[in-house]
Amino acid sequence: MILGVRPPPEENESWFTYLLRVANKNGLTGVTQLLEVLGLGKLKTSRWLHWSDEEISKIIPTLSASLEQSSDRLRHFADFSHKRWQNDGARVCADITTKHPRVCIDCLAEGRQMDWRWQLAIFSCCPHHKQFLVDICPACKTLLSWHSSLFGGCIHCNTQWTEIQANEILIEPSPLELQLWNDVYSPSAKTIGLIDDVVNTVFAIARPFDTVSHQFQTLPEFFGMSQLISRSYMVLQSQGALEIWREQCRDARASLVELGDRALLAPVYRLESKLNYCSFETKGSDFSFEDEKSDEMISLVEYSEFIRPARAKLIPGNHDMNARFHVDREQLTSLFNLASEDFLSAVDNKQIKPINSTAIIRDQLFDSREVLELVQSFCKKIPSSWLLVSHRDIQLRRHICGYGDLLNALLRHEVQAVPPKKFDLSSVSVEPISFNKWLIEQRENACKQPVSKPQACAALGCGLKKLDHMVKSGTLKLAAFKHESGSIDGPSLLEHCKLKSRIKDY
């Protein structure tokens, strides 16, 4: 079957929008109907923007005959428009193609074709007309859809794009956005890095007061993508916009004010650590610009669509402002200056409780406000007679325990202890009597079972050679069970420690 109107593909079109234009020129409703008319069956809606090599190869011979165009030319066009870098699993969002149309109404009103770059979540506006790319009809405020009538107007309200009054306010793209607009045709490694910087910034500004983010396979669906992208470029390149974000972070995260800027500005620091080529400290770079209207234009909005469903279930009252205070294990240990193993000990002993039920450590989330309140409960003035203990303290090893065990005792109020630096748990000041009692209990509990040779050496303050000599001489005993053959009998070790007074109490 030869189609009545047979337009060739044009520069800047994507494979899909070319097929949509062919459908439009031949009075068909869309790509699905075009394929059916050509006898090629149906294609799932989810596949419209992502054609596999097999799907393209299947339709090219028929399409070539129907359009009276060279198969090689169509294949070359399809291969050129099939840009695999748009889908990168290493990125915070693998696929940066928007599911619904984003168009420049002025371009379509002038009879121009749809530019493939309009669908990428790194572009906010049309550089030719300096207008935001729109995803909803300006007349009826309905989300645009992939119908062939999209070239002329809105399928929902029948408004033609030529009827829409031109916006006199011009949107000036940033230097970086303009550079990427030209460079994405054949992106270098640096261009890919810059694209990743922009995508990371878009996701950070979509949840501007959060510190937890997850990988997304596809972009969340919501209105106002272009405005979000524009705000992201401003934060990334304008010092004024960056300062606004910082100040709004301080206000939005004020519940953590006692932890200082490391908690208040954590969303800003987190994004900065992810940037490849852009930097908040190099505003004089080729990509920087200052917008005099940044104070007026930047209005940070929290998009709930950027919270994954599993995490959304953890938010009390479905009020996503609570998500601002979610932290993962790494972030929480950083906030309170805790060693990872000490933190895990507190979690295992249920003194610090995750808000989700997963046993996978890297997936556990915590409410930083709850942990702050817990630490505040034992912060007080430190008497001069108290002793300073850190995770390297020799007395802990002498008593066969660790700093994490001490933190658990502190959280259970078994030992009187106070952090000398407020909300810094890397060391604590302890009351000598309760600490000494606790140490003795730790040693006695540890010696109720076999003790490994390295632990025994630490408890006695000796080397492995001397420990083996003590076993041979009968001073110490090996553990009785075969599977504990590399261990020391606990009771014999405890008795020797008591007799020789190897461990001195504080």
Instruction: Give residue 245's pLDDT band: very low, low, confident or very high (50, 70, 90).
Output: very high
Please provide the average confidence, as pLDDT, over all residues in the chain.
87
Residues 6+ apart with CB under 8 A from 138: 105, 159, 164
Extract the tokens encoding 458.
């630490």
Question: By the 8 A CB rule, do 387 and 429 touch?
Answer: yes
Evaluated on CA atoms 232, 234, 235, 237, the torsion sign reads positive
Query: What is the reported pLDDT for 178?
Result: 95
The DSSP bridge partners found for residue 365 are 328
Output the 3-class SS for 380-396: CCCCCCCEEEECCCHHH
Span 356-388, pLDDT tens digits: 988 888 889 999 999 888 888 777 788 889 999
Span 319-354, pLDDT tens digits: 778 899 999 999 999 888 888 888 888 888 888 889
Q: At residue 301, does pLDDT exceed 60?
A: yes
Query: What is the reported pLDDT for 505?
Result: 45
Lowest pLDDT segment from 56-60, 281-285, 365-369, 379-383: 281-285
- Mean pLDDT to the nearest integer, 41-55: 72
Q: Which residues of 100-114 are buried (b: 16+ CB within 10 A; e: fewer)?
A: bbbbbbbbbbeebbb
- Mean pLDDT to the nearest integer, 454-477: 92
Query: What is the reported pLDDT for 128?
Result: 94
Query: What is the reported pLDDT for 485?
Result: 63
The Cα 249–Cα 380 span in angstroms is 28
Query: What is the reported pLDDT for 484?
Result: 52
Span 211-237, pLDDT tens digits: 998 889 899 988 889 999 999 999 988
- Three-class DSSP category at 366: strand
How many percent of the chain have pLDDT more than 70? 92
Span 155-194, pLDDT tens digits: 999 999 999 887 778 888 999 999 999 999 889 999 999 9
Span 441-456, pLDDT tens digits: 999 999 999 999 999 9
Q: For residue 101, which of 82, 87, 120, 88 has the smallest C-alpha distance?
A: 120
Query: What is the reported pLDDT for 503?
Result: 44
* Cβ neighbours around 457 below 10 Å, total: 18
The Cα 194–Cα 189 span in angstroms is 9
- Three-class DSSP category at 153: strand
- Mean pLDDT to the nearest integer, 452-473: 92
Query: What is the reported pLDDT for 101?
Result: 94
**Residue 478 — φ and ψ, nearest 5°?**
-80, 155
Extract the tokens encoding 20.
């949509």
**Residue 374 — φ and ψ, nearest 5°?**
-65, -45
Query: What is the reported pLDDT for 298?
Result: 65
- Three-class DSSP category at 283: coil
Question: By the 8 A CB rule, do 403 and 339 touch?
Answer: yes
Lowest pLDDT segment from 255-259, 296-300, 440-444, 493-497: 296-300
- Three-class DSSP category at 357: coil
Query: What is the reported pLDDT for 64?
Result: 93
CA-CA-CA-CA torsion for 18, 19, 22, 26, nearest 10 degrees?
A: -160
- Mean pLDDT to the nearest integer, 148-153: 95
**Residue 136 — φ and ψ, nearest 5°?**
-130, 155
Burial of 295 (0-12, 13-18, 19+ CB in 10 A): exposed
The Cα 417–Cα 118 span in angstroms is 59
Cα angle: 128, vertex 133, 134; to 5 degrees: 145
Q: For residue 81, which of 111, 104, 60 has the smallest C-alpha distance?
A: 60
Query: What is the reported pLDDT for 291?
Result: 53
Residues 6+ apart with CB under 8 A from 289: 174, 175, 237, 238
Span 91-138, pLDDT tens digits: 899 889 998 999 999 999 999 999 999 999 999 999 999 999 999 999
Question: By the 8 A CB rule, do 494 and 447 touch?
Answer: yes
Cα angle: 396, vertex 398, 402; to 5 degrees: 30
Question: By the 8 A CB rule, do 297 and 351 touch?
Answer: no
Q: For residue 488, which of 498, 503, 477 has the smallest C-alpha distance?
A: 477
Question: Position of tokens 């906030």?
Answer: 335
